[in-house]
Amino acid sequence: MPTLPNTAFIATLALPRTTTEMHSQNQSCSLRAKDQENYLLTKESPGEKTLVFQMAPQCIARLFLRVPSVDLVGGYYDAGDNVKFGFPMAFTTTMLSWSVIEFGGLMKGELGHAKDAIRWATDYLLKATAQPDTIFVQVGDAGKDHACWERPEDMDTPRSVFKINKNAPGTEVAAETAAALAAASLVFRKSDPNYSKILARRAISVFEFADKYRGAYSNELRPVVCPYYCDFSGYQVDYLLGDNPMKMSFMVGYGPRYPQRIHHRGSSLPSIGVHRSKIQCSAGFSVMNSQSPNPNILTGAVVGGPDQNDRFPDQRSDYEQSEPATYINAPLVGALAYLAHSFGQL
């Protein structure tokens, strides 16, 4: 078995954070062509525009002509883009919380880092669930965001907001959000009992909402069935960290050979410290399509990995294989803690 990362919880360090988001309470969705110009500008600040669109009938919520502001500061981008998706964020939080619940006693000096990562997410989820029978489940227009290759600091795409409520329910994302808050409440039960109680109370109210107003978050879920029961002996971790036909670690920054061109805007574009001027929306695609290694090593990020034939092209454009994501990292934390402790490395 290869030596595990110096910190078994290096995975938590790769979670991309957002820090400066204040949005109007608005919703948007895929627009009909004739509606694309029919919008109201409700907020404009440096690097950010928030729009309210006239929505097609299939959209998830009603248009608000007068929109009070809602604080959605914080949270995580789920992967290599600049969108905050509530469903994967909640799943990430649930898995990371259970890693701490089950293996926190083995984490030693890294336990505080793991708790910090959880709290960053739950602070956001508390904001996203602050209004009764409402959950804000997405910040950012995925279509417009994916049409740009920009650093988070340069974002100028609409920070549109999606929500679910009793008129437009989303049972799956609501229940997962409740699970995240409940699991996190156990994490902080001893170290911060007041915060734990806040999380538990909110988890109950969110679950009641999920149970009372039932409806599909998405009508086109793709079933994913694991072809075999996963072996917890460590084989998968060995493979991930380099014991594979390519002799390549799929955790960025770990081992002598690891992905160099991951599908991640902040990692692939020059940092603000190096390139002070703004990189425009489409200008970054020259970098995205290049063969140059990413200048910013996203240490600890785990990518999608090889194909069924153990091949990994290491191409930024191949997001299925080369994009890291929080929901890839989070379940790995507990497994690494258990195995590192079992092999005397922690």
Positions marked active-site: 263, 314, 323
In the structure encoding, which two tokens stand for residue 287, read together?
Answer: 């970098």
Cα–Cα distance measured from residue 261 to residue 258, given in angstroms and rounded to the nearest whole number: 9
Map residue 335 onto helix, strand or coil: helix
The SS3 of residue 282 is coil
CA distances from 155 to 18, 47, 83 (A): 11, 6, 10
Q: Which helix (H) or strand (E) holds 201?
A: helix 193-212
52: tokens are 């309210």
* Dihedral in degrees, nearest 10, Cα atoms 103, 104, 105, 107: 100
Contacts of 282 (CB under 8 A, 6+ apart): 147, 148, 149
Tokens of 45: 């600040």
Structure tokens at 46: 């440096």
Q: Which residues contact 309 (CB under 8 A, 6 or more apart)?
A: none
